[in-house]
Every structure is written in structure tokens, then in C-alpha cells.
Structure 1
Amino acid sequence: MNKKTCKTLMPGLLIALPFAPSFAAADLLKDSKGNLELKNFYFNRDFRDSTATDSKREEWAQGFILNLQSGFTDGPVGFGLDALGMLGLKLDSSPDRSGTGLLSRDSDRRAYDEYSKLELTAKAKFAQSELRLGGLNSVLPLLASNNTRLLPQVFNGVQLSSKDIKSLTATLGQVDSVKQRDSTDSEDLSASSQLGGYSSAITSDHYTYAGFDYQLLPSLNVAYQYSYLENLFRRDYVGLKFNMPLSKGRMFAEARYFEGQESGKKLLGKVDNRTISSNAGYSAMGHTLSAGYQAASGATAYPYVNGTDTYLFGEMLVSNFALANEDVWYAGYSYDFAALGLPGLTWSLRYAKGENVDPANIKTVKAKALRAEGSDGEEWERISDITYVVQSGAFKNVSFRWRNAINRSTYSDGADENRLIIGYVYNF
């Protein structure tokens, strides 16, 4: 479905809502729900290896996200309408420190005092199938919307999901534009640059995806998904997820396989990547310990839609650990202090080490030096994450979170990063 089709159908559906079967406005409102999320976000990323004048990204902002979801009208086919209103306010920024992903900015890198956006999603439901048209914030293996800054990334398109067959969830969708997390503009779709390996200036009219998620056994889930970014690349995904009780805890393991190649008119040039990402661990008595391995092969980096998450276990805060031929080992540990009688307090630590990175398609000064030496690239990153949610009193359910990352690389500028987030969600 292209932009013209979406723009044609959306007004028609919105007009039809008041005249839906049985004129059941009461049913539309009966199951409606909503919440208002307040997010105070401070972001600091210091590229300590860089000699550039703009080697730091540092901003502070306040965000408001109003999420309203209607129920469905009565009848064989139910209709509804969701609305997502977003507002970001600048608290501190300057042109030499902007670009954190928190705030929208002009061509001179100066952040606006405020920016806002509204997304409407018309929906229809038949049995256990739901059709959504308009703003989409899906988190799927091949289209994982990014929600890690002040406001979420939202796509415009249509998506059909069905659970009519027991244990099976099927998904089919197409998006034609996106509003990035720090922008109010609807933009054409493109590929993530991956440090210059691909051109983000080359755009596509639409991105199509389809797949299924099947609970094969109580402890085993299998999934497959296909996607196509018109004239740029296609990707396939296969996933296996295992989860079962063991002794006093729970054992889990998951493997994700991705394959990408150029397609259509091949406007992006060569795309040749196969990546497998795995993770396994054990959780008991508040402790969770996990480790995994990720390996890429092929001539180019992992391809994905610009602005989204990679859906790789190796993705960290600073680096996505997804370049050509990169081998990644990672491990993590987390603890829920409720086991010690301190509910609301959690802490986690993650470490990743990447090796054998092919610098051939990386456009950085360090990568150029590696190519001259005939050497491969390496990187590592460590993340610490501590969160506390107030359990009672006037500030009940207010959350305080500190995320710290240290990244070092032989092919790009390393960085030290801190994110301080105070959040609260009021449910209507």
C-alpha cells in the first residue's frame, strides 16, 4: 500500500467510525483506556577520542506522551480509533551539543524550544484479527520501532495481525513513511548508514513485511518473517525461543537468524549479510545470568530500516555491534532487589566484545588507517543500568533510572555515555 492509498483510506475510515454497526458509541467507549507518560530525560554522550569541535552530545528535555485507545464498536466487525499525542520541551541544549535524539532541530543544529506530533490509527476487528491503518509503533523482528529517547519513532502504514489459529500469530503490513523520534516531519524510508556502509540519502517508497509466530510447544516458540524495502534490500528472519522452569528458577535460550541481500533496482548497491544472534541464561531468586554469541558473514554490514532498533542481542547503547564479519561475545547479569525485601530496585550489567570487523565499507579516519595496515577492527562496550520505582507515598510509581555506557573502538570514536531518566505514567 503506497502513500496515496493510505491517505485515501484514512479519512474514509475516520468518517465511517461514528456510523459503525449498531451506532454503538457506548461499546466504543466501554473498553477504552489511556495513559499519560511524563519523561524527564538528560542525555550525555562524550566522544572522548574525537578531535572535532562537536565531540559531545548533551541535552536535557521534558516529554509528554498521551496514549488513548478506544474499544471496538459492537457487531461482527468492530471499529475503533487510537490517538497518540506527543510533546517535547527543551530544557537545555546548544548547537554544538545537539543531536542526541531527544529534540528536533533546525538546519543550523539549533534545537527548537518545543515540538509536537499527533498520530491517529483507525482500527477494525473481526474475530481474532485486527487491521490497523495510520500510525504504527510496531516492535517486530524486521521492523522494531525505536523507543529509547524522549518520544517514540512512529511509522505510517497498514498492518493486519491475526490470532484466529490457535498458538499462531500472523502479521502482514506495509509502511510508507516515518516520523523519527526527534522529528515532526514525515520522511521517506531509507537504510541505516552503518558508518557509511550504506547511503541513507537513497530512499524507498514503501517497506513490506509478513510473517508468523508459532507456539510449537509450551516451552518452544518458532518464528519466520520476510521483509522488502522497495528497490533497496530484502531480509528474512528465523527465530527459535526456548523457555522452561528449572529447579527454583527458569532457563531460557533464543537464536535469531537474519539474511539480507539487495533487491529490485538495487539502488543501495551491494547488500550481502547473514547474521546469527543468540542468547541463553538462567534466572532464579532475583538473579539473572545470561551470555551469547553473534556472528556476521558476507561482504556488507547488517541492513535495517533507518532509525529502528536492530533486534540483535548484541546491540548496546553506543554501538549496535552489527558490522561486516563482526564476531561478538556478550554477557549480562541483573538483580531484582525485591528478593532482599527492597521492591522497585533493579540493577543490570552488560558487556560485549566485537572482533574481526571488516573496515572495507566503513567511512571513518580510523577505519582508513586499518585498511592501510590490513587489520580488522575491534570494539567493546560495558553498560550499567539501575532503576528504582517509588513504591508508596506521594511519589508512588515515579521511576528513576541511570544508564551508563563506556565504548571503545579501533575503527570509530569511542564514547562515554550517561542517561538520566525520571518517569511517571498516569493511567486513566
Structure 2
Amino acid sequence: MIRNRHPLPALACLLGSACSFSGAAQADFFADSKASLEARNMYLSRDFRQSGAAQAKAEEWAQGFTARLESGFTEGTVGFGLDAIGQLGIKLDSSRDRRGTGLLPYGASSLEPVDDYSELGLTAKIRLSKSVLKLGTLQPSLPVAAYNDVRLLSSTYSGGLLTSREIDGLTLNAGRLEKINLRDSSSNDEMNYGGVQSAHLDLFGGSYALNPNLTLSYYYAQMDNLYRQHFAGLTHTTALAEGVSLKTDLRFFDTGEDGEHRYRSSARVDGGRIDNRFFNGMLTLGLGAHKFGAGYQNLSGDGDFAYPGLDPYSVNLVTVNVFTKAGTDAWQARYDYDFAALGIPGLSFMSRYVNGKHIETARVSGGKEWERDTDLVYTFQNGTFKGLNVRLRNATFRSSGGLTSDIDENRVIVGYTLPLF
């Protein structure tokens, strides 16, 4: 990822390159290329006053732009290509006493949110048969490593990732991630967990679709000198009757230490030892326009659940909290409704509640946390604003015993993606 203190030229350069490619569609490299520009306007307000936190409120409003270019591959047995991503974030409203929403970075000493920030990432890719090797800026979405895209700009990794689909139904991945660029940053930082840096994270695994309704997954990951991790997963969907379906999503991690380092954990177990088993799963019953979900997790052993970045692969990764502190047992109830059934296509509603208990930290034993989220989303279906997406999100988070600050949160997100070619 290339850091640029003057974001507009970098973004314009990427878009200009994309447009020049579009006029030269003579080979697969050009003919199969595609480019898009996403605009995301986001307001986020977090109120901490009910818990007496030092900062009473975090409130920011910003505009983000993300340009993506994906080339095709050159002709021949071995094909070569190039992808690029350019991101620009612009402050619309913020201040040093309302910073920290994750929308904007701020100075370490001044604590003043920046006026703008940007980044440009390039990815070289090589294709042989049905296997593709990518080197450079990556945005994997795997159980053991995933990028984050729930703020203004998305996070990225730097490294190499091989994806192979030589056998029908089987997808294999192998890679090494060496740097991480967080969602509110323009710099590539060392891989780390719990405040301890690591040279890299290696991963290997894949998924196999036994049939269109049943997929099994296995992955192994090792963050050098920090932790090693095994993952096994199962997803299954079955039709119970006309308009009635049941989806099963089961996930299990076994994580242990790698090397001699001790991470700086909040866990009140063995000085920060990583040695735990994490099961989580979700059952979702689809009934026409309705979906009813029930989730459960059990995190046993020592230490918090370990993962890179901000997104653990858990059904309880929700708006505010992740429910991955040591010892956390949690359950979730969720409801979704698609208003297309009432003649309003594009409008959807979601509400969920997660309750966690038995949490262990350095200061709290048997702690409890809960969160309630509500989303209302509308995507314009036609007319001048076709494709424009508006999301209203409300979240309430509470914890006991001083685990962390209580939060009342509201978000307004307006997004639009323009295909360039």
C-alpha cells in the first residue's frame, strides 16, 4: 500500500489509468478488465455518557471514495494481470474531543482528526489453468484472515495469496500476509496480536462443496511467534417445504501458542496464554420474506480468541462488540424481513440481540455483555437514484463490572457504486 499525503492526484491517476484501459480492449487483459468507483458518506455517533467514560462522545461525519480496477489476464498458458485500489477519505465534521469513531485517523500528540487521508494499493497476479497467485495488496475473506469494510474505507493486507480451483467444487488457498493497513490508516503496519508484533501470518486450507447445499471447510493459520490455529467449518442449506428453508452454519477453532512470546491480553488466565477452543454457529429458518436466526458460541480454555485485524470469523461479530474475550459464552437471536413481499422491493429490516456471560479479564471474573442492533436499509430500484443505498443503523451495548464503556450508537450510511466499464 502506497501512502499519499495528497490524495486527489493518486485517485485521479488510478481512474485515468482505468479509463485508458477501456479504450484499448484488444486482448483478454483489456477486454476482461473492469473498474468501479464507490462513494460512501457516513455519519457515526457513539455516546459513552451513561458509563461515565473520560470521553463523553465520539461523533464524526466523513466522505469516502474507493476506486477499483481489475484487469483481465494476458493471453497464453501463463497469464499476467494487474489490480489496483485507490481510497480517499475526507473529513466533513469532527474535532479532537469527538474523535475515535474509526472513520478518520488522528494525530498521536495533537489528537486532531486529519482533514483527509488516502492510499493506493497495487496487486500483480499470475494465472495458470484455474489457479491464480496474487502479490501485493490483498483483501482476503477467509476464516483465518479477513479484511474490514464497515467504516469509511476498507482495510487491506500486503503479501501473497494463491487460490486454486483445479477440481470442481474444491477451492484451495495458501498465502503469507506480512503487513496490515487498518480501515482508518494510510500506513502498512506489522502483523500483530495483543500488542505483540509478528513477522507474518501463514495460512493454508480450503473448502469443498460436496453438493450445492453442503460445504465443508478447513484452514490452518500461524502468526509467527504468536499463535497457531486450526479451523473447521460446515454450511448446509435444505428446503423444508415450499418457501421454507433451514441454513446451518457451524464453525470451530482450536488455537494455541507459537513461540515464546506472551501477548498483552486482558484475559485473567496464565499471564496471557493462548490455548483455547472456540465453537460458534447459527441456525437460520427462512419462511417467505421472514428469517429467524438463533446463534450460540462457547469459548473455553485460556486467553482471548486470537485473530488478525478487526474481524473474527464468528456469528457474533456484530456492530459494536465481537464477544471474543476469554471464557465468553454467548447466544444470539436475530430477525430479518424483506419488504419486497409487501410490494416495496429494496427495503429490508434486521434486528438482533446477543448476550454474553462468564467473561474473564484481568479485572473482572464472570463478566457479562449484551448488544442489541437494528438496521433499516433501502436501495433505490429505478429512476435517477437507481442503485443508491441508504442504511440506518442503531446499536446499544452494555457490560457489567467495568469491562468496557457502555455505548449508544447511531450510523447513517449512504453509498453508491458507479461501474466505469
Q: Same fold (TM over 0.5)?
A: yes
Asked if 1:391 corresponds to 2:349, the answer is no
Indicate the residue corresponding to 1:158 in structure 2.
Answer: 160
After superposition, residues 325-344 of structure 1 pair within 5 angstroms as 325-344=327-346
Indicate the residue corresponding to 1:253 in structure 2.
Answer: 248
CA distance in structure 1 between the partners assigned to 2:408 and 2:320 by the alignment: 8
After superposition, residues 285-324 of structure 1 pair within 5 angstroms as 285-305=288-308, 307-324=309-326
After superposition, residues 207-226 of structure 1 pair within 5 angstroms as 207-226=201-220
Q: CA deviation at 1:353?
A: 0.6
Asked if 1:420 corresponds to 2:412, the answer is yes
Q: Which runs of 5+ in 1 are unaligned?
A: 1-23, 192-197, 362-367
Q: Which runs of 5+ in 2 are unaligned?
A: 1-24, 264-271
Q: CA deviation at 1:265?
A: 2.9
Q: CA deviation at 1:53?
A: 3.4
Contact 2:231–2:251 under 8 Å retained in 1? yes
Residue 392 of structure 1 aligns with an amino acid whose one-letter code is: N
CA distance in structure 2 between the partners assigned to 1:169 and 1:236 by the alignment: 17
After superposition, residues 92-171 of structure 1 pair within 5 angstroms as 92-107=93-108, 108-171=110-173
After superposition, residues 327-406 of structure 1 pair within 5 angstroms as 327-359=329-361, 361=362, 368=363, 370=364, 375-406=365-396
After superposition, residues 225-236 of structure 1 pair within 5 angstroms as 225-236=219-230
Contact 2:74–2:81 under 8 Å retained in 1? yes
Indicate the residue corresponding to 1:195 in structure 2.
Answer: none
2:238 to 244, 248, 266: 244
Contact 1:53–1:96 under 8 Å retained in 2? no
Instruction: Classify 1:283/1:302 alpha carbon distance in 2 versus 1 (closer, same or farther; 3 Å).
Output: same
SS in 2 for 1:406: strand
After superposition, residues 269-280 of structure 1 pair within 5 angstroms as 269-280=272-283
Deviations 1:194-236 (A, max 9, x none): xxxx3x1x21111111101011233211100000111011111
Q: CA deviation at 1:48?
A: 3.1
Indicate the residue corresponding to 1:282 in structure 2.
Answer: 285
Residue 273 of structure 2 aligns with an amino acid whose one-letter code is: K
Paired residue total = 384
Contact 1:157–1:174 under 8 Å retained in 2? yes
SS in 2 for 1:311: coil
Contact 1:64–1:88 under 8 Å retained in 2? yes
RMSD: 1.3
Indicate the residue corresponding to 1:79 in structure 2.
Answer: 80
Residue 376 of structure 1 aligns with an amino acid whose one-letter code is: G
Residue 378 of structure 2 aligns with an amino acid whose one-letter code is: Y
CA distance in structure 2 between the partners assigned to 1:158 and 1:78 by the alignment: 17
Deviations 1:61-96 (A, max 9, x none): 000000110011110011100010000000011111
Instruction: Classify 1:38/1:290 alpha carbon distance in 2 versus 1 (closer, same or farther; 3 Å).
Output: same
CA distance in structure 1 between the partners assigned to 2:97 and 2:360 by the alignment: 31
Contact 2:392–2:412 under 8 Å retained in 1? yes
Residue 71 of structure 2 aligns with an amino acid whose one-letter code is: S
Identical-residue share of aligned pairs (%): 42
Indicate the residue corresponding to 1:205 in structure 2.
Answer: 199
Residue 147 of structure 1 aligns with an amino acid whose one-letter code is: D
After superposition, residues 166-185 of structure 1 pair within 5 angstroms as 166-185=168-187
Residue 422 of structure 1 aligns with an amino acid whose one-letter code is: V
Given the two structures, how large is their TM-score scaled by the length of structure 1? 0.87
Contact 1:47–1:56 under 8 Å retained in 2? yes
Asked if 1:27 corresponds to 2:28, the answer is yes
Residue 168 of structure 1 aligns with an amino acid whose one-letter code is: L
Contact 1:33–1:70 under 8 Å retained in 2? yes
